[in-house]
């Protein structure tokens, strides 16, 4: 039951990042939650072996980012990795202008995913369609911005800190902010500083990890139940463990409400269960 909070470095795909850590840690299987573009750095939770079955339970967690943008530029990818176009007559907004516009984005808003993104249309990632020059219609999706603050402004560069829901494209957010300011922008740097309850302060870079001995490496390996702390826990008796593992309903201890829970027998994590109206636990995801 192993999870590492990686601080992904720049210019590395999320796929390569997990494979590098998997090889270094000698785990048989690995998966990650919340893909980061190669340009981005920061928190990338990597789940190993049987823990990969629980990635879905952090998928909807909110995230925090630090992002930097350059005003007066545009790009087909909305960031500096794409085909850049300079707009010399762009408006130079004031700090007060930016602060005012940022506040208008707080709450639930609609956002169009960028053409160069992994969002799929009929099973095909949009970036593949865009690279082929194919035309397609992007669909709006609802996202939620819970906080959005201007950290630094030195025209043409500005930096923001944003707390947002799953599915938020920060580069698109920056472009939409610039549009409301009467100009354009591209993302120049992005760091994910929080993923749910996982902080960048608890992460480790791959370079640092590979220079540790095996005992020191294990200090950065967390149990999956430490990652899923937003899910409440219940206990079952030791006599019910085999029934739970075999997929049968069991009687929980001291439960008064329905819903999804982490299921334990004493301090042993068994999996995820759902307490139904009969106040019994139906196994949903059992730790193998």
What are the catalytic residues?
37
Tell which CATH classification among 3.40.630.30, 3.20.20.150, 1.25.40.10, 3.30.2350.10 matches the domain 63-194.
3.30.2350.10
Buried b (16+ CB within 10 A) or exposed e, 68-99: bbbbbbbbebbbbbbeeeeeeebeebeeeebe
pTM: 0.91
Query: What is residue 285's predicted lDDT score, i.e. its pLDDT?
Result: 93
Say yes or no: do domains 2-60+197-226 and 231-286 share a fold: no
CATH of domain 231-286: 2.30.130.10
Interatomic CA distance for residues 259 and 275, integer angstroms: 5
What are 153-159's contacts with CB under 8 Å, separation 24+? 153/95, 153/98, 155/71, 155/92, 156/70, 156/71, 156/72, 156/73, 156/90, 156/92, 157/68, 157/69, 157/70, 157/71, 157/188, 158/68, 158/69, 158/71, 158/98, 159/66, 159/67, 159/68, 159/69
CATH number of the domain located at residue range(s) 2-60+197-226 in this protein: 3.30.2350.10
pLDDT on residue 12: 95
Domain ranges of the chain: 2-60+197-226, 63-194, 231-286
- Mean pLDDT by groups of 10 residues along the chain of 288 residues: 91 95 93 91 95 91 97 95 93 96 97 79 75 79 97 98 96 97 97 95 96 91 91 93 94 89 93 93 90
Residue 137: per-residue pLDDT: 76
């Amino acid at each position: 039951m192993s999870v590492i909070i990686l601080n992904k470095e720049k210019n590395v795909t999320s796929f390569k990042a997990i494979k590098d850590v998997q090889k270094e840690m000698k785990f048989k299987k690995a998966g990650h939650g919340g893909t980061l573009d190669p340009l981005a750095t920061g928190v990338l939770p990597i789940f190993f072996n049987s823990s990969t079955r629980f990635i879905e339970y952090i998928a909807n967690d909110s995230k925090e980012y630090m992002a930097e943008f350059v005003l007066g530029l545009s790009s087909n990818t909305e960031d500096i990795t794409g085909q850049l176009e300079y707009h010399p007559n762009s408006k130079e907004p004031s700090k007060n202008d930016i602060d005012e516009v940022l506040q208008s984005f707080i709450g639930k808003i609609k956002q169009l995913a960028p053409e160069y993104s992994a969002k799929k249309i009929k099973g095909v990632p949009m970036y593949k369609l865009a690279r082929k020059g194919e035309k397609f219609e992007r669909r709006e999706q609802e996202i939620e911005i819970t906080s959005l603050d201007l950290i630094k402004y030195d025209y043409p560069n500005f930096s923001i800190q944003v707390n947002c829901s799953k599915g938020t494209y920060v580069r698109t957010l920056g472009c939409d902010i610039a549009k409301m300011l009467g100009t354009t922008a591209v993302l120049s740097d992005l760091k994910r500083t929080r993923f749910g309850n996982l902080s960048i302060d608890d992460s480790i870079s791959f370079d640092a990890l590979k220079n540790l001995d095996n005992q020191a490496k294990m200090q950065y390996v967390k149990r999956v139940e430490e990652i899923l702390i937003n899910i409440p826990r219940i206990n079952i008796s030791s006599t019910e463990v085999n029934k739970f593992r075999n997929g049968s309903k069991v009687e929980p201890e001291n439960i008064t409400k329905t819903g999804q829970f982490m299921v334990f027998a004493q301090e042993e994590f068994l999996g995820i269960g759902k307490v139904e109206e009969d106040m019994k636990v139906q196994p949903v995801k059992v730790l193998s």
